[in-house]
A and B are shown apart, each in its own frame.
Chain A
């Protein structure tokens, strides 16, 4: 195993909370506020980790296991992704399916953790989460399948390295469809506007936030950290597929990729500032649309 393969997970571990900070800062700038410091997510995590945990008597071990399993699964997901020329720790044919399933595992534990509390609010959030991710998952998998077809490889590492920098001029239409579809999946999976509002305090409209209402202390820190890692994973995936930069110099490429990841975070902030949250009834339309875009990308890759 190459030591260099550990660089990407390490980067993700260190930098991912900063993504949340960047998004918040972008939104603050759009709103004309100074905003919280960029490092605020780190401070929040540190604060939560020092607290004790309170568990409701109605909950079982599932509730306690959920944050840990979720964090573990998403950590594993970071090891599957290469970053620019940095190889992934794990790479084998079909690993993109494992990635999708790890993300599914994260969601599954978040959902049963929420259901375990027995609260109707959290049950509502869980049901929405499941409904929307059931529509987002085909979009993600079909999009990845399109790349797999295009590059004739079944491993994420080869798929990403198989895209050349001239890719946009050769198959621009497919690329654009893919990027658009993945971006919509990113917004959905990470509970961002226009699908979900991470800042809202109205349980009736929330999805992700309402599921974690009962978690506190280190458990909540794990959940927050897991969420930021998930955002990193999606940003890294989108960067790898949509921005293949090939300079030949490892570190320049890595730097470009990291900047691109933060660029996506800024984009998310911009979207959040410019758009209102969609009505719940409209969200499935968005996701079905994303799925159709992926299908079309798949067709275009078949030529």
Chain B
């Protein structure tokens, strides 16, 4: 089981890396979708053998949402917006990856410092979760397009999800469903807002939104 867990976590890590270095919007959406599916599998793998209906149900819902529904929503936004399919970063791709390296270093350091009360199945759980959170935050601040910021938000959410899966097992079903519902609605509302942004500004570029400031 550890081997599976390791492999899945490394896949998550690789998807983050891909996102940091990717210049295509469409590819980024697909990578985030893949990450969502991997997370669902991770939730299954982290339980070892005992798969209850609760776990299976949650994993299925989260995979369906993150792997199918979100990418569809985002692709639809992409299609309707007819934006240029480039990510347009504030920070270049190579620099992004180097920042990624620094973030990985930070996550590893923090990972060794956090005293875990329960034994964790894989030594990379905490570093990968932190790295995913940091990548998400970095994507939000370093990319111009509204769509990429939503992707960053999803990645951030995914990182927190890894933490949840690894550390806080057995949360009540209603809470987990509530969280998923909130994330879903958030992406949905952001999708609608993106549609309006595109109509109002003729692009999804958030740099143009600079009329409100002091």
Q: Is A302 an interface residue (CB 8 A)?
A: yes
**Among candidates A176, A288, A296, residue contacting B97 with C-beta atoms closer than 8 Å:** A288
Total A-B Cβ pairs within 8 A: 52
B186 lies within 8 A of chain A by Cβ? no
Residues 2-23 of chain B: 1 if any A CB is under 8 Å from the residue's CB, otherwise 0? 0100110010010001000100
Interchain CB contact under 8 A, B17 and A172:
no
- Residue pair A299, B97 in contact (C-beta under 8 Å): no
Label chain B's interface by main secondary structure: helix
State which of B3, B98, B108 has its C-beta within 8 Å of the C-beta of A299.
B108
Interface size on A, residues (CB 8 A): 20
B152 CB contacts on chain A under 8 angstroms: none
A239 CB to closest chain B CB (Å) equals: 23
When the two chains form the complex, which single residue of A174, A176, A292 contacts B17, counting CB atoms closer than 8 Å? Answer: A292
Task: Assess A300 versus B17: contact at CB under 8 Å? Given A285-B93, A285-B97, A288-B98.
Answer: no
Residue of B nearest to A285 (CB): B21
Find the B residue at minimum CB distance from A284.
B94
Neighbouring A residues of B97 by C-beta, 8 Å: 284-285, 288-289, 292
Asked if A173 is at the interface of the complex by the 8 Å CB criterion, the answer is yes
Which label, helix, strand, loop or mixed, suits the secondary structure of the A interface?
helix
> What's the Cα separation between A288 and B103 when bound, in Å?
13
Q: B residues 111-152 with Cβ under 8 Å of A?
A: 123-124, 127
Contacts of A288 in B (CB 8 A): 94, 97-98, 100-101
Judge whether B33 is part of the interface by a CB distance below 8 angstroms.
no
CB of A172 within 8 A of CB of B124, answer: no
Interface flag for A147 (CB, 8 Å)? no
The interface size bin for chain B is 10 to 19
- B104 touching A292 by the CB < 8 A rule? yes
Question: How far apart sit A41 and B7, CA to CA, in the bound complex (Å)?
Answer: 41
In whole Å, how far is A166's beta carbon from the nearest beta carbon of chain B?
Answer: 12
Does A291 count as interface, using CB distance less than 8 angstroms?
Answer: yes
Q: A285-B21, A289-B17, A292-B100 are in contact. Are A300 and B94 (CB under 8 A)?
A: no
Q: By the criterion CB–CB under 8 Å, are A173 and B6 in contact?
A: yes
Interface string of B85-117 (1 = CB under 8 A from A): 000000001100110110011001000000000
**Given A173-B6, A173-B7, are A299 and B17 neighbors across the interface (CB < 8 Å)?**
no
